[in-house]
A and B are shown apart, each in its own frame.
Chain A
Amino acid sequence: MTKTSAKSRDVFEGGVDERTLLLSPHDNIVVALKDLEAGVTLWFGEGGCVLDRPAPTGFKIARRDIARGEKILKYGAEIGSAVADIEAGQVVHIHNMKSDYLPTYTHDGRNFTKRDGR
């Protein structure tokens, strides 16, 4: 699995699927560069893994298995913690991670719902 890109990027790009972006070599997630359908096979390092749910542009996908309680790393920085065991290829979002600072709020019908990951 080799990849080429028409333009050089300013980011590390070894060993990740070209439909995704690895922002720092320390990261355990990649960012979708286009809207990806559930079920597509993504290639990270040696093996392929299957995307578990749709990942629109900008969404995060685990590039390796992440254990419950482990920090999620993006830009090489901690952006929260896993609240469930996450497998490579699974979307990482508010259903399986939480902030280490403040709860996240989402739309739930007409109301805002507190999502603190518990």
Chain B
Amino acid sequence: MAELKAPMVGKVIEILVKPGDVIEKGQEIVVLESMKMEIPVEAGSAGTVREVCCKLDEAVSENAVLVVYE
């Protein structure tokens, strides 16, 4: 089981996957907005999405789990 974590404080502005999606290493999974910058958060490894743990427009803290996949 792998966790995609927020690299910094920010707001979730795009969620590009849903449970069941097969994802590749390096694929953009979630986009955060922080410091007026859109920051794509990429999968560290390949897998299948199990759970999306964030909502659109949600403010997330650093290291918050955004997506769980395996």
Q: Is this pair of chains taken from one and the same complex?
A: no
Instruction: Give the A-binding residues of B (Cβ under 8 A).
Output: none
